[in-house]
Protein backbone atom coordinates (compact mmCIF):
# COMPACT_ATOMS: atom_id res chain seq x y z
CA UNK A 1 0.00 0.00 0.00
CA UNK A 2 1.36 3.43 -0.84
CA UNK A 3 0.12 6.73 0.49
CA UNK A 4 0.51 10.04 -1.31
CA UNK A 5 1.89 12.70 0.99
CA UNK A 6 -0.28 15.83 0.70
CA UNK A 7 2.62 18.29 1.01
CA UNK A 8 4.92 16.79 -1.64
CA UNK A 9 4.84 14.48 -4.59
CA UNK A 10 6.38 11.70 -2.52
CA UNK A 11 4.84 8.40 -1.60
CA UNK A 12 5.50 5.98 1.21
CA UNK A 13 5.86 2.27 0.55
CA UNK A 14 5.75 1.53 4.27
CA UNK A 15 3.06 -1.06 4.97
CA UNK A 16 0.02 -0.10 6.97
CA UNK A 17 0.25 -0.11 10.73
CA UNK A 18 -1.14 -3.62 10.95
CA UNK A 19 -3.72 -4.96 13.32
CA UNK A 20 -4.92 -3.20 16.46
CA UNK A 21 -3.02 -5.88 18.39
CA UNK A 22 0.29 -4.91 16.76
CA UNK A 23 -0.40 -1.21 17.26
CA UNK A 24 -1.07 -1.96 20.93
CA UNK A 25 2.27 -3.72 21.25
CA UNK A 26 4.06 -0.81 19.57
CA UNK A 27 2.31 1.60 21.91
CA UNK A 28 3.41 -0.40 24.98
CA UNK A 29 7.01 -0.55 23.79
CA UNK A 30 7.43 3.04 22.58
CA UNK A 31 4.96 5.00 24.73
CA UNK A 32 6.47 8.02 26.50
CA UNK A 33 4.47 9.22 29.51
CA UNK A 34 3.34 12.84 29.40
CA UNK A 35 4.77 13.50 32.84
CA UNK A 36 8.24 13.77 31.25
CA UNK A 37 7.35 17.19 29.79
CA UNK A 38 6.92 18.66 33.25
CA UNK A 39 9.59 21.24 34.02
CA UNK A 40 9.82 19.97 37.60
CA UNK A 41 10.32 16.38 36.39
CA UNK A 42 13.12 17.54 34.08
CA UNK A 43 14.55 19.74 36.86
CA UNK A 44 14.30 22.92 34.81
CA UNK A 45 14.36 26.11 36.83
CA UNK A 46 11.83 28.47 35.28
CA UNK A 47 11.38 31.97 36.64
CA UNK A 48 7.70 32.47 35.78
CA UNK A 49 4.52 30.53 35.08
CA UNK A 50 4.17 31.77 31.49
CA UNK A 51 7.58 30.41 30.49
CA UNK A 52 6.85 27.16 32.29
CA UNK A 53 3.58 26.74 30.41
CA UNK A 54 5.29 27.45 27.07
CA UNK A 55 8.06 24.94 27.70
CA UNK A 56 5.59 22.26 28.79
CA UNK A 57 3.30 22.98 25.80
CA UNK A 58 6.19 22.48 23.41
CA UNK A 59 7.00 19.13 25.02
CA UNK A 60 3.35 18.11 24.98
CA UNK A 61 2.99 18.82 21.25
CA UNK A 62 6.25 17.01 20.52
CA UNK A 63 4.78 13.96 22.28
CA UNK A 64 1.47 14.36 20.42
CA UNK A 65 3.36 14.07 17.14
CA UNK A 66 5.46 11.19 18.41
CA UNK A 67 2.43 9.25 19.62
CA UNK A 68 0.51 10.03 16.42
CA UNK A 69 3.35 8.41 14.44
CA UNK A 70 3.48 5.37 16.73
CA UNK A 71 -0.30 4.90 16.37
CA UNK A 72 -0.70 5.87 12.71
CA UNK A 73 -2.57 3.67 10.26
CA UNK A 74 -1.08 5.42 7.22
CA UNK A 75 1.14 8.35 6.33
CA UNK A 76 -1.90 10.21 5.02
CA UNK A 77 -3.70 9.86 8.35
CA UNK A 78 -0.57 10.94 10.20
CA UNK A 79 -0.31 14.08 8.05
CA UNK A 80 -3.96 14.90 8.69
CA UNK A 81 -3.44 14.49 12.43
CA UNK A 82 -0.40 16.77 12.38
CA UNK A 83 -2.12 19.41 10.25
CA UNK A 84 -4.91 19.61 12.86
CA UNK A 85 -2.43 20.86 15.49
CA UNK A 86 -2.19 24.58 16.19
CA UNK A 87 0.22 26.12 13.66
CA UNK A 88 2.35 27.56 16.47
CA UNK A 89 3.17 24.03 17.62
CA UNK A 90 3.13 22.05 14.35
CA UNK A 91 6.90 22.10 13.94
CA UNK A 92 7.36 20.45 17.32
CA UNK A 93 4.69 17.87 16.51
CA UNK A 94 6.39 17.08 13.18
CA UNK A 95 9.71 16.61 14.99
CA UNK A 96 8.05 14.18 17.39
CA UNK A 97 6.42 12.33 14.50
CA UNK A 98 9.78 12.06 12.75
CA UNK A 99 11.30 10.52 15.85
CA UNK A 100 8.41 8.06 16.13
CA UNK A 101 8.69 7.02 12.49
CA UNK A 102 12.45 6.50 12.78
CA UNK A 103 11.93 4.23 15.79
CA UNK A 104 9.36 2.21 13.86
CA UNK A 105 11.76 1.70 10.98
Helix axes 75-83, 87-104, angle to 10 degrees: 150
pLDDT, one tens digit per residue, over 62-104 is: 999 999 999 888 889 999 999 999 999 999 999 999 999 999 8
Model confidence, pTM = 0.75
User: What integer best gives the mean pLDDT of the chain?
Assistant: 82
CA distance 46 to 34: 19
CB atoms within 10 A of CB 80: 13
> 81 vs 17, 36, 42, 52, CA distance in Å?
15, 22, 27, 26
pLDDT (average), residues 36-42: 78
Please report which helix (H) or strand (E) contains residue 95, including its range.
helix 87-104
Amino acid sequence: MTDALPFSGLTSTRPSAGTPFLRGIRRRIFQIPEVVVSTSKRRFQVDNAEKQERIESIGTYFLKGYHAAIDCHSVTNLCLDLQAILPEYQGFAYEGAAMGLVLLE
